[in-house]
Amino acid sequence: MKKRRPFIAGNWKMNGSKDSTASLVGALSLRFIQFKGDESRPFDMLVCPPFPYIAEAHEISGDSGLLIGAQDCSITPNGPHTGDVSPSMLKDVGAKWVILGHSERRTNHGETNAMVKDKAALAIDGGLSVIICVGETEAQKDSEQTFAVIKSQVSESLPANSTSKNTIIAYEPVWAIGTGRTPISSDIQAVHSFIRELLADLYDETKANEYRILYGGSVKPSNASTILSIEDVDGALVGGASLKVDDFWDIATGSI
């Protein structure tokens, strides 16, 4: 039995269509509804479709308990920001969570820790919960900078209004995302317990023990139960394998 309820999140990235979103959310909701209203639900489950499909995903998920989220949000609440989507708009169409600081956003859109922090503050202020992603690149790993990188990402990306209820941290080594490679279990545990120590320094040990820390990067049914059984791993952020109902469900049940 895990200390913290496992949280299984699907990051669909820029994939799918209206139809595929409807069928994926429909199928997952049907399976998840068995835990409906159950405070002892064995895991939480979140899916984050592309922006245009969030409203429909929310409608289809109904009252199944399946959570719907977004993959990013604007750093400003409203106004002349062509192409941006604000946290309040996401909330308006049924999103409960937003992924922030994913390495693809950091790399492709130049997002910095300071930007992630401001986005997270705004999102939490607007009633959303956030998954803040951190992780080292392969070059940083090879030059033994992993812990330094994680330290600055965690301490500089967490906003003042973060709590263990509205914030989850996802450790995603950049070199493991979409590559089929994963760190060995002891390396995952070392980073996760390091993140928990950083949280204890920022807050206190009790609060640090309440935060959920997810692992992400090439999680699939064949490695999920091993990864999810690591002491300080409280769930998974899943990309590719979250686009297949059976694979995603197998990963989630691997957390039980």
Q: Give the one residue of 239, 248, 249, 254 binding ligand PGA; rule: CB under 6 A.
A: 239
- By the 8 A CB rule, do 58 and 94 touch? yes
Q: Can 102 be counted among the known catalytic residues?
A: yes
Residue with smaller CB distance to ligand PGA, 140 or 208: 140
Q: Which two tokens stand for residue 103?
A: 């390495």
Q: What is the DSSP letter of 8?
A: E
Site for ligand PGA in 204-233 (CB under 6 A): 216-219
Q: Give the one residue of 8, 68, 158, 238 binding ligand PGA; rule: CB under 6 A.
A: 238
Q: Which two tokens stand for residue 182?
A: 């994963």
The catalytic residue among 58, 102, 104, 136 is 102
Q: Which residue is nearest to ligand PGA (CB)?
A: 239
Least CB distance from residue 192 to ligand PGA, whole Å? 16
Q: Is 254 in the site for ligand PGA (CB under 6 A)?
A: no
The catalytic residue among 104, 111, 136, 172 is 172
Q: At a CB cut-off of 8 Å and minimum separation 6, what does 228 contact?
A: 6, 235, 236, 251, 254, 255
Rounded Cα distance between 118 and 228, Å, is 30
Q: Is 181 in the site for ligand PGA (CB under 6 A)?
A: no
Residue with smaller CB distance to ligand PGA, 62 or 178: 178
Q: Is 240 in the site for ligand PGA (CB under 6 A)?
A: yes
Question: Looking at 76-84, 123-131, 172-180, 191-199, which segment touches ligand PGA (CB under 6 A)?
Answer: 172-180
Question: Looking at 55-63, 107-115, 151-159, 238-246, which segment touches ligand PGA (CB under 6 A)?
Answer: 238-246
Q: Can 56 be counted among the known catalytic residues?
A: no
Rounded Cα distance between 45 and 65, Å, is 8
Rounded Cα distance between 47 and 99, Å, is 10
Q: How many residues bind ligand PGA (CB under 6 A)?
A: 13
Question: Looking at 14-22, 35-43, 185-193, 234-242, which segment touches ligand PGA (CB under 6 A)?
Answer: 234-242
Least CB distance from residue 237 to ligand PGA, whole Å? 5
Q: Give the one residue of 237, 248, 254, 255 binding ligand PGA; rule: CB under 6 A.
A: 237
Least CB distance from residue 249 to ligand PGA, whole Å? 15
Site for ligand PGA in 8-47 (CB under 6 A): 11
Give SS3 for 7.
strand
DSSP 105-164: HHHHS---HHHHHHHHHHHHHTT-EEEEEE---HHHHHTT-HHHHHHHHHHHH--TT--T
Q: Which two tokens stand for residue 142?
A: 């090879």
- By the 8 A CB rule, do 169 and 232 touch? no
Which residue in this structure is represented by tokens 């909701």? 29
Give phi and psi for 175, each to the nearest 5.
-75, -10
Could you list the active site residues?
102, 172
Name the site residues for ligand PGA (rule: CB under 6 A). 11, 172, 177-178, 216-219, 237-241
